[in-house]
Amino acid sequence: MAHRRLINVEKKLKRNGQLALEYDRIIKDYVSKGYARKLQQDEVAVTSDRLWYLPHFGVENPNKPGKVRLVFDAAAKVRGTSLNSALDKGPQHYQPLPAVLFHFREGAVGVCGDIKEMFHQVLIRPDDRCSQRFQ
């Protein structure tokens, strides 16, 4: 499934040279920042019951021309199973929105933040890395 989707992405990139350049830049950026790495030949040959290749595709925002965001589709299913369905669900640690809004009224200044590229910076255990490969 992931290989078939990769072929479709490659066809799209061949038709759109600008998108191909941006896609390539994003992948190289992930590698340079340590979010992804190229596997060695012996690593590629490893077989595991948890081996999973994530399909990916580029999304362009019409409000931000020329900006492409790479999306990894963890909900894509193979024989009824997706990476998302195989993950353990932990407790929810976030506050409901009304509670957050009410807390803003407690002080004189409200502060909000966003961590850039947060999901790419989550460290994956070495035993689980074979479940998040992409081509």
Minimal CA–CA distance to 74: which of 31, 24, 124? 124
pLDDT digits 0-9 by tens, 85-129 = 888 777 878 888 888 888 877 877 777 777 788 888 888 888 888
User: Measured on CA atoms in the order 5, 82, 122, 113, is the torsion positive or negative?
Assistant: positive
Q: How far apart are CA 7 and CA 126, in angstroms?
A: 28
Higher-confidence residue of 131 and 111: namely: 131
Q: What HEC string does 90-121 produce?
A: CCCCCCCHHHHHHHCCCCCCCCCCCCCCHHHH
Give 85's contacts (C-beta < 8 A, 6+ positions apart).
77
